[in-house]
Amino acid sequence: MAWGLVFSGQGGQHPGMLPWLAEDGLTRSVAARLGVADWRTALADAAWGARNAHAQCLLTGLALAAWSQLAPRVPAPAAIAGYSVGELAAFSAAGVFDAATALDLAQTRAAAMDRCAASTPGGLLGLSQCAPALLERLLAAGGLAIAIRNGIDSVVLGGPPAALAWAEAAAQAAGAHATLLRVAVASHTPAMQPAAAEFAEHLAGLALARPHTPLFSNAADRVASAAQARQALAAQIATTVRWDECMDNLQARGVDRVLEIGAGQALARLWNQRHPGVPARAADEFRSAQAIAAWLTRV
């Protein structure tokens, strides 16, 4: 068997996520870094969980804790990718850096993006059932950029709040589905270029390793060296997340199933829409690590 591993981004975090995840040193480290006694209790406050500084560290740490508890039970994945901040967990799972470094990077990344957003406020708008002509009209109005590309009629736009509010109304009036996301920064757009430059400078001082598993980036396709890892992690902060291409890259590795680790089931749904012949499921929907392993290893 050959299976693909993908790590979720922000937006789906909730108190009941990953119900099978056991408390361990990594989950305790996450709680300590965030100054909370229990991360599930903290997530009951939706405003707390939506804050960039909390979400990026929390999701990176919990995803890696989940992977560390699952990995001994399953064969190594044939390929790995991460969605937005999920790249930090993906790169760590592929051996580029350890979990503690991933948590450091999550906090550094969030802080750089928050500083950038303080001077250039923004957010994200999810669009689906969006015809190409409508997307062109929304982009032509100015102020918006494609932050994430999930499929031919499914994208996420980033930009200032006023432009996003206008685009939401215009898209709904045209029959598209539009949802403002719980993210307070215009991630993956040119507005984040100062944050990308700051993160690149930080990464330049770190000793990274070559991935031990085929690893695909939102911004740079296959990542095969430490130098490529540095470039890709910084670049994706201010450039479009090409998730459609990431899914195709994993599919080209011949995977026969895909597991999403993180909050919610968004990536599994996107995969099943794009590659319905290869089933995808989310770790968030299982009740135990044993059940996940049984699904992954079922012939």
Domain boundary assignment for the chain? 3-118+189-297, 122-180
pLDDT at 232: 97
Cβ contacts of residue 87 below 8 Å, gap of 6+? 7, 81, 217, 218, 232, 233, 236
pLDDT at 183: 84
d(CA 191, CA 246): 23
- CB-based contact 241:150 (threshold 8 Å): no
pLDDT at 247: 97
Determine the average pLDDT of the residues in 12-26: 96
Determine the average pLDDT of the residues in 136-163: 95
Instruction: Summarize pLDDT for 58-91 with one digit per residue, the tens.
Output: 999 999 999 999 999 999 999 999 999 999 999 9
What would be the CATH architecture of the domain defined by 3-118+189-297?
Answer: 3-Layer(aba) Sandwich (3.40)
Instruction: Summarize pLDDT for 154-191 with one digit per residue, the tens.
Output: 999 999 999 999 999 999 999 999 999 888 899 999 99
pLDDT at 98: 98
Instruction: Summarize pLDDT for 2-17 with one digit per residue, the tens.
Output: 999 999 999 889 999 9
Indicate the pLDDT class of residue 299, thresholds 50, 70 and 90: confident
pLDDT at 152: 87
pLDDT at 11: 86
* Closest alpha carbon to 180 in 170, 192, 165: 165
State percent of the chain over pLDDT 70: 100
Determine the average pLDDT of the residues in 31-49: 96
With vertex at residue 110, the alpha carbon angle to CA 53 and CA 155, rounded to the nearest 5 degrees, is 105
Ordered alpha helix ranges (H), 174-263: 193-204, 226-235, 243-252
14-32: string of b/e by CB count within 10 Å (b at 16+)? eeebbebbeeeebbebbbe
Q: Which secondary structure element, helix H or strand E, spans residue 125, and what is its range?
A: strand 123-128
Indicate the pLDDT class of residue 248, thresholds 50, 70 and 90: very high
- Separation in Å, CA 265 to CA 8, 105, 281: 8, 25, 7
Q: Domain 122-180: give its CATH code.
A: 3.30.70.250
